[in-house]
Homo-oligomer: A and B are copies of this chain.
Amino acid sequence: MTRRGRPGYDLESLLAVAVKLFNERGYEATSMEELSRKLGITKSAIYYHVASKDELLRLAVDRALNGLFAVADEAMTIEGPSIDRLEFLVRGSINVLVERLPFVTLLLRVRGNTKVERAALARRREFDQLVTELVKQAEAEGDVRPDIDPSVTARLLFGTVNSLIEWYRPRGGLGSAELADAVCAIAFDGLRTR
């Protein structure tokens, strides 16, 4: 037997609409009722694809998290000083953010009110820990300023990256590589003229 989606939506396009709605209205404020109205299909047609609203959230935030962890894995294979791995991680994360903007946006707004949200927050903390370790190593190698706590430096760095979801829109603006250049220039070398 072949499982097929209802006409008009497969899981991919359903997820895209759901994530857009969650980002506009807030995950908690969005009901499956509203989602079914937005899609123009019945709730049972949605439940053909996913078991719950929670499952939609899990699928969405996993796309963002899997992208970020794939970049982290790749960064760790880079030879040379830690600051190069750190810069690779920043550039790769910006690329994930640009390519999966709605998913990353949803991830970064997760609050921890459900099990799925708490699991996402735990993976985010794991990622942050990894960034902090890289900053520490780069500081030990003399490439990162030693006057600021590495966990603060790591948080400010990824705070800058994550803040891109608030204003960056792929159409008509900077491309992913130009955006990464701008962020790396400011974050690594500062906005002041050297």
Which positions in A face B, CB cutoff 8 Å? 24-29, 83, 109, 111, 113, 135, 142-149, 152-153, 155-160, 162-164, 166-167, 174, 182-183, 185-194
Enumerate chain B residues within 8 angstroms of A182, measured Cβ to Cβ: 148-149, 152-153, 156
Each complex incorporates copies of this chain amounting to: 2
Determine the distance from Cα of A111 to Cα of B113 in the docked complex, in whole angstroms. 19
Determine the distance from Cα of A69 to Cα of B111 in the docked complex, in whole angstroms. 28
In the complex, are the beta carbons of B147 and A185 less than 8 A apart?
A: yes
Enumerate chain B residues within 8 angstroms of A186, measured Cβ to Cβ: 148, 153, 156-157, 187, 190
Enumerate chain B residues within 8 angstroms of A147, measured Cβ to Cβ: 185
Which of A113, A135, A145 counts the most chain B CB atoms within 10 A? A145
